[in-house]
Structure 1
Amino acid sequence: MNIGSYFRLEGVLVAGAVSLYVQARNGALWEVGLLKNVGHLLQSNVVVEGIRTGAEVIAVNWIEANGPPQRTLSSAAM
């Protein structure tokens, strides 16, 4: 996919120190920036569509939940 092309991505929405990211199924971490009103989607499977603006960076036009939330296991529970 070239920079400037419309892109669709599926993965888990995670919070970083300065931005939000989608961790794709292949393990890649895509930066999606700071989005408003998506706190309820954190740690959930999502579908994101937008314009690719850099190496693993998307300017999001649309984000939606994609299936049930993914459970995360803490290392203390293991």
Structure 2
Amino acid sequence: EIRRLVPRGAPTDPAEVALEAWRQRAARAAAIDPAALCSDRQLREIAATKPRTVAELVAATGLGTITAAALIDGIVDALDDVERV
């Protein structure tokens, strides 16, 4: 049964897995907690909606425009990596 193999709360959606890896790398590079970039809920919303613009990211997550502008390139890159696979 898959529930036994995947730790509770671990993402299984390929987009969510890629975004989690991006968030970990970005947080490490900025020396901040990953949740400071975006929450788990916001990460799931990003994976579900796959925003391509700052406006779409703001609408999906409620992030501010400045924060969304700072994050959008990394998010789009992570989502593009999933689409290439």
Q: Give your verdict on TM over 0.5.
A: no
Q: TM-score normalised to the size of structure 2?
A: 0.25
Q: Which has the higher helix share?
A: 2
Q: Which has the higher strand share?
A: 1
Q: TM-score normalised to the size of structure 1?
A: 0.26
